[in-house]
Structure 1
Amino acid sequence: MADRSHITLYSGGHKGTESKFGRLAEEWGIQEVNFSFEGHVVERSRGLRELSPEELDKGNVSMEIVSARMGRKFAQANKIRKVIQTIFHMVNNGYHVIAVGWIQPDDTVKGGTGWGVELAKLFNRPVHVYDQEHKGWFTWKDNAWVAGAPEIEKNTFVGTGTRNLTEDGKKALRSFFEGAFGPA
């Protein structure tokens, strides 16, 4: 992609994977939008977009649905609800979903990252996860995870993932940027 200034990363600016995505986007000259909400602490302020309560409501979904889709319960549903709503805005705006975390035996991804991955599946978006345990990229294809590196075909993508980004995860993200966008 020749003109990177027309590419936009949508993220949440959180510690770990999301802030690493943001630093790499800045290094590569890619636009960055970080969705947040009042009172939420983020690490990245570049492209910060604080969602109003009305905007957050557009991403509202029953926590029972989230729990069923993710195959687990959330102990502090009220606390995570705004994060879930914010993730909706990320995935709704970005075409490709690129995540870092851990793929679970039930094919979900651990933590809040998993909701972004599940939304990508529901929205029929290309979704790729760097699994830090297996040290490899996986693509959701034909209702299963298959080994495969992410490719970017559109001008928007979502960068999300765990707060506990490993050194291998950091290297995988840099390699992703190099492969998708060329040298910095």
Structure 2
Amino acid sequence: MQAKDCTLYHGGLKGAEAAFGELAEQYGIREVVYTFEGHKLERERNTVVLSESELQRGDISMELASRMMNRTYYETEKIRRVLQTIFHIVNKGHQVFVVGTILDDNSVKGGTGWAVELAKLFNRPLHVYDQTRRGWFTWKEGAWHEDTPLIRYSTFVGSGTRYLNDDGVAAMAKLFADSFKQG
């Protein structure tokens, strides 16, 4: 697979998403950023601003989201729009890559966890770089397994923490370098 034939989908936020976008640009990968009106982005290449009706297609009960992620989400319009946007991002990309922290309950810390739960629900190939454990993990058969993933599909998602550290940046750079070796 050639990098030029791939498309990265993400939300354009600071941290992991912006870093995924920068790597995509370096490798000549098409990049699409999904957002909603009034959302502040770090990276704005090929931005798609979702309409009200498009956002509604990604709607979910905040109670259900809270239960799936083992945490409490209150009914705020911004959180709802973020979760709706994440639905569109994960729905577009076949393979999902996340940088963050895997928690003891197998969820991933923060709003990024919603991308992980949707990837599980949609049965997408799912890989998380855990910055705490300093390793990649792939979701298989209901559990996390240490792995060295590669980008294997022409559409993929890059998501993750706003608090990206140097180790996370290095892991992302290696993922792209290993996936798109020349020759």
Using the size of structure 2 for normalisation, the TM-score is 0.97
Q: Give structure 1 regions of 4+ aligned residues with deviation exceeding 6 angstroms.
A: none
The Cα of 1:149 is off from its aligned counterpart by: 1.7
RMSD: 1.0
Q: Which moved more, 1:113-122 or 1:67-76?
A: 67-76
Query: Take 2:17 and 2:93, find their aligned partners in 1: how far apart are those partners?
Result: 14
Alignment partner, residue 59 of structure 1: 58
Distance 1:163 1:76 in 2: 22
| Mapped partners of 1:48, 1:79: distance in 2 | 18
- Whether the 8 Å CA contact 1:56–1:86 is kept in 2: the answer is yes
Measured in 2, the distance between the counterparts of 1:69 and 1:29 equals 36
Which AA in structure 2 matches 1:137?
W
Q: Is the 8 A contact 1:98 1:150 kept in 2?
A: no
Correspondence for 2:96 = 97
Instruction: Please tell me whether the aligned partners of residues 63 and 73 of structure 2 are also in contact (alpha carbons under 8 angstroms).
Output: no
Which SS does the other structure have where 1:153 is aligned? coil
Count of residue pairs the alignment pairs up: 182
**Long gaps (5+) in structure 2:** none
Distance 1:54 1:175 in 2: 38
Partner residue, 1:22: 21
The 5-angstrom pairing of residues 1-184 of structure 1 reads 1-2=1-2, 4-75=3-74, 77-182=76-181
Listed one character per residue, the Cα deviations across residues 84-121 of structure 1 (whole Å, up to 9, x for unaligned) are 00000000000000000000000000011100000000
**How far does the alpha carbon of each residue in 1:104-156 deviate from its partner, in whole angstroms, 9 at most, with x for none?**
00000001110000000000000000000000000001100000022222200
* Counterpart Cα distance in 1 of 2:132 and 2:75: 26
| TM-score, normalising length: structure 1 | 0.96
- The answer for unaligned runs of 5 or more in structure 1 is none
